[in-house]
A = this chain, B = another copy of it.
Amino acid sequence: MKEGPDIARIGALIGDPARANILGALLGGKALTATELATEAGITGQTASSHLKKLVDGSLLVQTKQGRHRYFTLAGPEVAAVLEAVMGLAAHKGHLRVRTGPRDPAMRAARVCYDHLAGDMAVRIFDSMQSRGFLRVTQEKSGLGLTERGEAFVCEAGIDLKGLKSARRPLCRACLDWSERRSHLAGSLGAAFLAKFQNEGWMRRERDSRVVQITPIGNERLVKLFPAP
């Protein structure tokens, strides 16, 4: 016993319903204030404050204070990845009583995963890119990279690849989708794609939710840009 890192600390942090709701809300990627998170989790401000303190101490969240507000975010992409992975377990092992909420179909179609896209469309994009030989296995930390043809495609799509490459963060990363149980694209490139889709007006985020709506024009463009293999 007591081999390896202390897994129980993290588990206990995720294990409380109120904290789980907070983490789930922050999976949307936006920074939220303490009161916003309190209402999101259905608890009072005092309780939220206590929970947030624990989450920050446990290094799952980071806080930045701005004026008299205090904004909270997930501590990084690794945290988001773990949360999605746990969701994958919960969805398929969770006694099959996955009481699907009203927005569940929309969530499965397209949603935000911290800073990139997840769901049906995200998996489609990943599949399309791989079938055209844009992705390759690398020995970087992330294990995934772009081929030459992939780089050409990305540049042509109007993404500043040089800028992304110069950043410290890994360019590509495979993130396991809890609804599809297949990989979608994460990393700085995944984030850049999501930003582009929103700027182009192809996608629109639902207010106070992880759900992403794909506009008709967006759908048309995306289907062309990422044909099914």
Contact of A11 among B13, B57, B81 (CB under 8 A): B13
For window 76-98 of A, CB contacts with B under 8 Å fall at 78-79, 81-83, 85-95, 98
Q: How far is the CB of A167 from chain B (nearest CB, A)?
A: 18
> B137 near A209 (CB under 8 angstroms)?
no
Count residues of chain A with CB under 8 A from any CB of chain B. Answer: 72
Of A1, A12, A127, most buried by chain B (CB within 10 Å of CB) is A1
Given contacts A7-B23, A41-B1, A141-B181, contact A15 B12 (CB under 8 A): yes
Q: Which residues of B contact A209 (CB under 8 A)?
A: 3
> B139 near A229 (CB under 8 angstroms)?
yes
> A130 near B138 (CB under 8 angstroms)?
yes
Taken together as a complex, chains A and B put the C-alpha atoms of A148 and B141 apart, in Å, by 25
> A42 near B1 (CB under 8 angstroms)?
yes
> A143 near B7 (CB under 8 angstroms)?
no
> A5 near B60 (CB under 8 angstroms)?
no
Contact with B along A23-59 (1 / 0, CB 8 A): 1110000000000000011100000000000000111
Q: Which residues of B contact A90 (CB under 8 A)?
A: 5-7, 9-10
Q: How far is the CB of A175 from chain B (nearest CB, A)?
A: 10
Q: How far is the CB of A224 from chain B (nearest CB, A)?
A: 19
Q: Which residues of B contact A81 (CB under 8 A)?
A: 85
Given A1-B42, A10-B15, 20 other A-B residues pairs in contact with their CB atoms under 8 A:
A2-B21, A2-B101, A3-B107, A4-B210, A5-B94, A6-B20, A7-B24, A7-B90, A8-B15, A11-B11, A58-B95, A78-B92, A82-B85, A82-B89, A86-B86, A126-B143, A127-B139, A139-B182, A140-B182, A141-B181
